[in-house]
Structure 1
Amino acid sequence: MEDTCKEKNEDLSTAANSTITLHQKSLDDLKTYNPFEHRNVPHPTSTIGSFVHLLKSSLGSGLLAMPVAFKHTGLIPGCLGTALVGLIATHCVHILVSTSRDISRECREPALNYTDTCARVFKHGPQSLRRYEGFVRHFADYAMAGVCLGGTSVYVIFIASSLKDIVDQFTSSHLPIEAYSGILLIPLILLIQVRYLKFLVPFSVLANMCLIVTVAITCYYTFADVQFSDGKLFGNVLEWPLFISTAIFAMEGINVVMPVENEMAHPEHFLGCPGVLNTSMVLVVILYGIVGFFGYLKYGDYVQGSITLSLPEGEPLALTAKILVVIAVFFTYGLQMYAPMDILWIRVKGRISQKYHNLGQIVLRTASVMLTVILTIAIPDLELMIGLVGSVFFSTLGLFIPLVVQTVHKWDRGLGRCSYILWKNGLLLLFYLVVLLSGCYSSIKEIVKKYS
């Protein structure tokens, strides 16, 4: 009997050691699991292509709206504010991508999009917050949809305003901006049917080239005449929220970040120094500061929602810039709509039969374009739309959500020495609330004032 008990104890000990070994092996596998090695991307994007995409996502109509942003603050606060917003925007993108990679490693998943990252963090976060996983998923999707509708509506207004400015120079039939928005419906629907990010690279390259030439021509007109208008060094403090809203709208390309990073052939090149992210954002901040500073210095308080609309009429070079910027923003529209369409399709395709998936994609993308055009017709003012969309949607998607997600993810895993992550994110969340409330109030106040 003693021998039997001894054998049973040895078996239990062996089983316990086996369980411990398996658990330790699981932890070791978790530490060594590399999501990059398990990604199976049908059409991976090169590092240069990813750089072009990320640069293009931040260089759109917002770049040419920077002079009117400087009008709200003056020259000195405008320069400091541009650097500050660029730093905060870059930091929030960095912590979002880092958190996504960490949670991907823990969940042993090759890649996670924006919404899945938020949901997984809450699912594996503090016990008291796990029940909010579904709410967080819906909130992130709605925020993405808001950025999609609002941001691309600004692009439609921008293109329509530029087309109106061009056509009015040659014809006497001055159609309203709403009419040009309707004309754009069919071309935008055709563009949005491109479903793979890799196939958008040529469009991004073309858009970047057009935008570079436009900026060069704009700088030529800005510096050609040495008689600069009287730009204010300091503007009205009450108008500063409109500057911050415009700058956030201009620089935030966070809705494109996760698709770009997930489809890279070498995702390890995205973060780090220099890295795709840091390199692109440094160029963005420098270019935004130059265009905003000298554009406002040139045209003063008479600068319009896009500096290209302030260029002289009847000159071939100025006309060329206006045409090129239309092409640039038109192709940027397709890139900005890529991430929201991907997220919406993932949620919808399970309810559609497999044989109707292609038709379902076409209907979904067509309906999304129609919504942006309808919103454009409702508020056909470029400057006011940029301020409203930037303060509400882009700040929520680009500031609020990444900060909350990182805080929740690090809560049980360590917030750093003296909980510096908690203090840092708390200050940035306070900045977000100031942007949201003040920017939204200022934009709505101006909209009501104009249309009443």
Structure 2
Amino acid sequence: MYFLKYVATRFEDVKAVVLPGESEEDFDPHAHRHIPKPTTYSETMMHMLKGCLGAGLLAMPNAFSRMGIIYGTIGMVLIGIFATYCIQVLVHAQYLLCKRKRRGYMAYNKSMRVAVQDGPVCMRGLEGFFANGVDFFLLFWQVGICAIYFVFVAENVKQVMDFYGHSMTVRMLIIYCYPPLLLLSLIKDLKLLTPFSTISNFAVMLGLYLVFFYLIEDDAEIDDSKLQMKGIKEIPVFIGITLFALEAVGVILALEYNMEKPRDFTGLCGLFSVAMFIIITIYVTLGIFGYLKYGNKCEGSITLNLPQNQKKAQVAKLTFTLALFLSYPLQNFVAWQIVWRKSRKKFRESIRPLADYVIRILIATIPFGMAVLAPNLEAFMGLLGAFCLTFAAIVFPALMEMLVYWPKKYGFCYYKLFKDLLIILFGIVACCSGVYTSALEMLAGPKH
């Protein structure tokens, strides 16, 4: 049910009713949000945990196989803290913009537009560019997730079919998955998709239980090779996979928006920080145990390492396959919503229904084409995390904060300005290096 609420509120601005004589300093955007059914602290926490325990979680052993146990753990913790801080920067910057404009809430792209308009004079003609940039990276992120779902489903089904003597390539399975997923993507009523989401959640819970069963059934063996990093070139892909697993900036902002007490979301001991601590702990645990179990043979999803000849392992693979298969139309709906919101007014009223279906088919077909061209799961995750999330969850939040504090609110010796510039620089470097190394792995071709 949360996904329906997320889609309904993702693209709306909440306008505040300002009381007479109320100054900007006295104005509290949180008090002027009017959410029909806000979520409690515990409900938001459950949504947060559920939203981050998916395909990215299953890639953690592969990520640790690149960095080793020591560097992988340190890297995961540092990236987790850094990513958490950047999202908190974004939420706080949006809060300050809402106070300035006296609104209860502004969507991410709208916030970026307003921040650029209030920033240096030399940037004020670029507000459309940066606002569209936010939508572009969020759209590419959603389309990329759909492509990853294609690859994940195909690779896991392939292993089960291989055991029963039905050999088929990953690409052919992706092609067979396309028609049913395309039909599901044409469903317009989200209420019809709600049962699919419920089944998907139960499948994820069952699959995680079965995966951990295999990881802890034998005694772990630690040797020096598992403590060492494979090479410097693995760092960008590790960062990309970790960001893919940790960050879902659109969902996180929607959770903060829908909270009953949004002030409890941020802060050192706020809900987001506590949730990220739990998530990072789970990721590190799965990463370490998965790497100890399968070593350098860790696949892009830990389900691909499970024994092919055991029924419990086959059930684990098929439950995660079912979960992501049923989640595909929901993820695809978000991508369609971004495109349709920006393009619907360009079509005449008479042809809008036809244009709607054409866009839905196009949005469902693009990730299919991406998956067929490069069915390499871990490289796909690294590319998506490096390209989209370094900008959407690192560069843009720092840029927005820098513009919000323009021109004389940067603190002692302009420390906030230099801090944001360093964050932006890190994000750009991580993006370029991560995209390059992940693209090389994708061009190397599929493993199967």
Aligned equivalents of 1:361, 1:270: Cα separation in 2: 36
2:207 alignment partner in structure 1: 214
1:307 alignment partner in structure 2: 302
Give yes or no for the alignment of 1:183 onto 2:215: no
**Aligned match for 1:101, one of 82, 95, 110:** 95
Give yes or no for the alignment of 1:444 onto 2:430: no
Aligned equivalents of 1:134, 1:42: Cα separation in 2: 31
SS of corresponding position for 2:405: helix
2:3 alignment partner in structure 1: none
Counterpart of 2:61, as a letter, is: P
Counterpart of 2:255, as a letter, is: V
Counterpart of 1:407, as a letter, is: M
TM-superposed deviation, 1:346: 2.2
Q: Do the aligned residues in 2 keep the contact of 1:57 with 1:332 (CA within 8 Å)?
A: no
Aligned equivalents of 1:359, 1:413: Cα separation in 2: 51
SS of corresponding position for 2:24: helix
TM-superposed deviation, 1:382: 0.7
TM-superposed deviation, 1:417: 3.0
TM-superposed deviation, 1:345: 2.6
Aligned equivalents of 1:48, 1:201: Cα separation in 2: 21
SS of corresponding position for 2:113: helix
TM-superposed deviation, 1:187: 4.2
SS of corresponding position for 1:110: strand
1:295 alignment partner in structure 2: 290
- Cα RMSD (Å): 3.0
Aligned equivalents of 2:316, 2:383: Cα separation in 1: 27
Aligned equivalents of 1:273, 1:197: Cα separation in 2: 36
TM-superposed deviation, 1:46: 5.2
Q: Do the aligned residues in 2 keep the contact of 1:150 with 1:393 (CA within 8 Å)?
A: no
Counterpart of 1:421, as a letter, is: K
TM-superposed deviation, 1:31: 3.2
After superposing the two structures, state which structure 1 stretch, 238-247 or 351-360, moved more.
Answer: 351-360
Aligned equivalents of 2:83, 2:328: Cα separation in 1: 21
* Compared CA separation, residues 428 and 338, structure 1 to 2 (3 A): farther
* Compared CA separation, residues 132 and 199, structure 1 to 2 (3 A): farther
1:3 alignment partner in structure 2: none
SS of corresponding position for 1:226: coil
2:421 alignment partner in structure 1: 426
Aligned equivalents of 2:371, 2:217: Cα separation in 1: 35
Q: Do the aligned residues in 2 keep the contact of 1:388 with 1:440 (CA within 8 Å)?
A: yes
1:92 alignment partner in structure 2: 86
State how 1:89-238 maps to structure 2 within 5 Å: 89-170=83-164, 172-189=165-182, 191-192=184-185, 206-226=199-219, 228=221, 230=223, 231-235=225-229, 236-238=231-233
TM-superposed deviation, 1:206: 4.8
Counterpart of 2:175, as a letter, is: G
2:8 alignment partner in structure 1: none
Larger radius of gyration: 1
Q: Do the aligned residues in 1 keep the contact of 2:402 with 2:417 (CA within 8 Å)?
A: yes
TM-superposed deviation, 1:366: 3.3
Aligned equivalents of 1:263, 1:254: Cα separation in 2: 14
TM-superposed deviation, 1:334: 4.8
After superposing the two structures, state which structure 1 stretch, 387-396 or 297-306, moved more.
Answer: 387-396
2:273 alignment partner in structure 1: 278
TM-score normalized by structure 1? 0.84
Deviations along 1:205-259, one digit per CA (max 9) or x if unpaired, are 6544433332232222112122637452111223222211111111111132233
Aligned equivalents of 2:68, 2:426: Cα separation in 1: 20
SS of corresponding position for 1:32: coil
Give yes or no for the alignment of 1:51 onto 2:51: no
Aligned equivalents of 2:180, 2:42: Cα separation in 1: 28
Aligned equivalents of 1:55, 1:205: Cα separation in 2: 15
SS of corresponding position for 1:72: helix
TM-superposed deviation, 1:61: 0.8
> Identical aligned pairs, as a percentage?
30
Q: Do the aligned residues in 2 keep the contact of 1:56 with 1:332 (CA within 8 Å)?
A: no
1:246 alignment partner in structure 2: 241
**Aligned match for 1:78, one of 65, 72, 76:** 72
Aligned equivalents of 2:67, 2:194: Cα separation in 1: 36
Aligned equivalents of 2:44, 2:197: Cα separation in 1: 10
Aligned equivalents of 1:67, 1:27: Cα separation in 2: 57
SS of corresponding position for 1:232: helix
Q: Do the aligned residues in 2 keep the contact of 1:52 with 1:205 (CA within 8 Å)?
A: no
* Compared CA separation, residues 364 and 60, structure 1 to 2 (3 A): same
Unpaired runs of at least 5, structure 2: 1-18
TM-superposed deviation, 1:82: 0.6
SS of corresponding position for 1:213: helix
Aligned equivalents of 1:37, 1:197: Cα separation in 2: 30
Unpaired runs of at least 5, structure 1: 1-24
1:398 alignment partner in structure 2: 393
Aligned equivalents of 2:411, 2:192: Cα separation in 1: 42
Counterpart of 1:104, as a letter, is: C
1:410 alignment partner in structure 2: 405
* Compared CA separation, residues 331 and 29, structure 1 to 2 (3 A): farther
SS of corresponding position for 1:31: coil
TM-score normalized by structure 2? 0.85
